[in-house]
Copies of this chain bind each other. A is one copy, B any other.
Amino acid sequence: MTEQRKVLLQHVFERHQHFDVDELIEQLPKRGEAGHVSRPTVYRTLNEFVEAGLLRRFELDGRSVYEHDYGYPAHDHFYCDKSGKLIEFHNRELVELIEKIAQQYDFQIASHRLIIYGASKEGREASRRTKRRQDMI
């Protein structure tokens, strides 16, 4: 248990929120400051967290995104094209249907990943405001 791992554990599990490597490093102390962690160590440690079952990793726009896994209930996401935000939702019925489908195909589920792409209410509203502003120019 090193200083670097303490810092990473703390930042990663402080809040329940998904993040990518750049966002995480952004929040950490900069180079030279106390508690700084180098980029390779961040990557190495996140990989260990994933292996250990603490985090889950998935890809969005070609980069890795991490979210809490250990002790956190399964869920899925909306991805809003307008705001770039990932919105979590929980739905029991969906999980059951996925299990039923897998059974039909004799497929043993390890996990699943569903992302619904489109526009959230907030995204649509923000986009409407932006358009108006553009119209004025």
- Chain A residues close to B by CB (< 8 Å): 59-60, 62, 78, 80-81, 87, 89, 91, 93-94, 97-98, 101-102, 105-121, 124
Main secondary structure on A side of the interface with B: strand
* This chain's copy number in the assembly: 2
Q: Are A120 and B107 in contact (CB under 8 A)?
A: yes
Listed by A's residue number, 23 A-B pairs whose Cβ atoms lie within 8 Å are: A59-B62, A62-B62, A78-B102, A78-B105, A80-B107, A87-B105, A89-B101, A91-B101, A93-B97, A94-B98, A102-B116, A106-B120, A107-B121, A108-B118, A108-B119, A108-B120, A108-B124, A109-B116, A110-B119, A111-B116, A111-B117, A111-B118, A112-B116
Q: Which residues does chain B contribute within 8 Å of A113, judged by CB atoms? A: 113-115, 117
Q: Are A118 and B93 in contact (CB under 8 A)?
A: no
Q: Which residues does chain B contribute within 8 Å of A80, judged by CB atoms? A: 107
Least distance between A130 CB and chain B CB atoms (Å): 16
Bound CA–CA A118/B109 (angstroms): 5
Q: Which residues does chain B contribute within 8 Å of A91, judged by CB atoms? A: 97, 101
Q: Which residues does chain B contribute within 8 Å of A93, judged by CB atoms? A: 97
Least distance between A118 CB and chain B CB atoms (Å): 4
5 nearest A-B residue pairs (beta carbon): A110-B118, A59-B59, A114-B114, A109-B118, A106-B121
